[in-house]
Amino acid sequence: MTTGSLSGTVLDRIVEGVREDLAERRRAVPLTKVQRAATEATPALDAHAALQGGRDDTSGVRIIAEVKRSSPSAGALAEISSPADLARSYQAGGAAAISVLTEQRRFGGSLADLDAVRAAVSIPVLRKDFMVDEYQFHEARAHGADLVLLIVAALDDAQLRDFLALSHELGMHALVETHTVEEIERAMAVGARIVGVNVRNLKTLDVDVDHYSVLAPHLDDSVVRIAESGVRSEREVADYAARGADAVLVGEALVKHGDATAAIRDFRAASRP
């Protein structure tokens, strides 16, 4: 089984731009140099351990707090003058991990943001990008990522299997993102241990927060369950927690809040069983 055609979708256009930008970085820094930097980097933190068990934790679900400047759906979100300071505020609020957008064209991210966040915090860091080439995984580890994103809709079965294995070989974990029952089945088939359900359809950018409750029953109890997108307030976080999420990934609601530390504390408090 392979992923269906993405021609003409938002995801397709994003991936096209990612490949173009990647080609430029590859010309500037050869794969062998990036691989060497990855092997010399400080060993990755255990993101799986940091995220698991949130559905049963009396202190509330885990929060993956995102450093996110803009998005294709909402445009510019916030002026983030210091990703490091924002990351510190996330950690102070009790975030279990920090997601850093590194895609530059539509999300305004960069590897420099990843470097700044990695240097500022002691919790796992996710490189959130559209991972479509082996180079990016060595690059992620070289820049200190502990976790990478694998979007099932953007990968065929061979890529999904090989990229998951490569992530583990480099000492990282992978958040395997799904949006349909079929994609969950594909994630399970390759042995994914951390599975996300994104309630935003990346092909159309439509959001349906109830979509998590439709897909959650199809997730194996052995995997760490991540609810992605759709969070506007404590209500959505509490709802995801009630439906069995171990962790909730929150971006826009945090960068626009004004007091990210307090927001994360409130999100966790609202999700307590």
User: 10 Å Cβ neighbour count for 46?
Assistant: 15
- Given the residues 177, 183, 236, 252, the one annotated as active site: 177
Instruction: Give catalytic status of residue 201 as yes or no.
Output: no
- Given the residues 228, 236, 252, 271, the one annotated as active site: 228
Nearest CA-CA partner of 137 in 145, 151, 49: 145
Buried b (16+ CB within 10 A) or exposed e, 242-268: ebbbbbbbbbbbbbeeeebbebbbbbb
- Given the residues 68, 99, 139, 271, the one annotated as active site: 68
- Given the residues 70, 89, 99, 128, the one annotated as active site: 128
DSSP 41-84: SPPPP-HHHHHTTGGG-TT--EEEEEE-SEETTTEE----S-HH
For residues 133 and 16, the answer to whether their CB atoms sit within 8 Å is: no
- Given the residues 70, 71, 89, 198, the one annotated as active site: 198
Instruction: Give catalytic status of residue 228 as yes or no.
Output: yes
Task: For residue 110, give both structure tokens.
Answer: 């960069």
Where do runs of H (alpha helix) occur along the chain?
Answer: 10-28, 31-40, 47-51, 83-93, 111-120, 134-142, 157-169, 181-189, 211-215, 234-242, 252-255, 260-270
Instruction: Give catalytic status of residue 177 as yes or no.
Output: yes
- Given the residues 71, 89, 229, 271, the one annotated as active site: 229
Residues 6+ apart with CB under 8 A from 56: 273
Residues 6+ apart with CB under 8 A from 22: 132, 133, 135, 136
Q: How far apart are CA 166 and CA 53, in angstroms?
A: 25
- Given the residues 66, 103, 183, 252, the one annotated as active site: 66
Instruction: Give catalytic status of residue 68 as yes or no.
Output: yes
Instruction: Give φ, ψ of 138 to 5 degrees.
Output: -65, -40
Instruction: Give catalytic status of residue 229 as yes or no.
Output: yes
Q: Which positions are catalytic?
A: 66, 68, 128, 177, 198, 228-229
